[in-house]
Amino acid sequence: MTTATAERLPIRTDSDVVKVRQLVRTLAQEARLSLVDQTKLVTAASELARNTLVYGGGGDAEVVLMTEGVRKGVRAVFSDEGPGIPDLDLALTDGWTSGGGLGLGLSGSRRLVQHFAIDTAAGAGTRVEIATWTR
């Protein structure tokens, strides 16, 4: 049985990205993720939050602390109603950049977390979900 406590933050400004980072870090610490896993998760969250702001035209993040028995985990979902990513395969290739800040965002972030799922289409916005659990 999984129980969860969730918090939703808007992503409209640079300082919002910092707030998202801080929330993810706080929950990752609460979940007792290892320092390396914490760092990786917060870094991925920073990349994705920035994508939401810069590429998605703003959106929000929902961060959840999950408990399943003795295991704990943190999940973050980044959503926007922006232009969406037309060629997802290309975007997930290492080193792809559209300029203006995407850079290594997606493919790199995927390597940093245990669970990564992305939902997007041209003109349909983007939704990225990441999660990491204690080992």
Partner 1 sequence: MTDGVPILRIGSTLLVSIQIDLQDDTALRLQEDLAERITSSGARGVIIDISGLEIVDSFIGRMLASVAGISHVLDATTVVVGMRPAVAITMVELGLSLGDVRTALDVERALALLTPVEQSPEDVLLAAAEREER
Partner 2 sequence: MADVATAPPESLAQLLTEHADTVRSEWIESAARELFGRTSRGELDREQAEIFDALVEGLRAGGASLADAAFDQLRGILADVSAARARLGFTPRETAIGIFALKEGLYPLAASGADITTLLRLVDQLGLLTFETYAAARESIIAEQAEQLLELSTPVVKLWKGIVAVPLVGTLDSARAQVVMEKLLNTLVDTGSEHAIIDITGVPAVDTQVAQHLLKTVVAARLMGAECTISGIRPQIAQTIVALGIEFGDIRTRATLADALVDALRASSADRKGGLPA
Strands (E), 12-114: 59-68, 71-80
Binding mask 68-107 vs partner 1 (x if CB under 8 A, - otherwise)? --------------------------xx-----x-xxx-x
C-beta separation of 92 from 107 below 8 A: yes
Query: From CA 120, how far away is CA 133, in angstroms rounded?
Result: 25
Shortest distance (Å) from residue 70 CB to partner 2 = 5
The strand pair at 59-68 and 115-120 is best described as: unpaired
CA–CA gap between residue 33 and residue 66 (Å, rounded): 12
Q: Which of 89, 94, 100, 135 binds partner 2 (CB under 8 A)?
A: 135
Q: 89 touches which of partner 1, partner 2, none (CB within 5 to 8 A by kind)? A: none
- Residue 45 CB, nearest approach to partner 2 (Å): 21
Site of interaction with partner 2 (CB under 8 A):
1, 3, 36, 69-71, 135
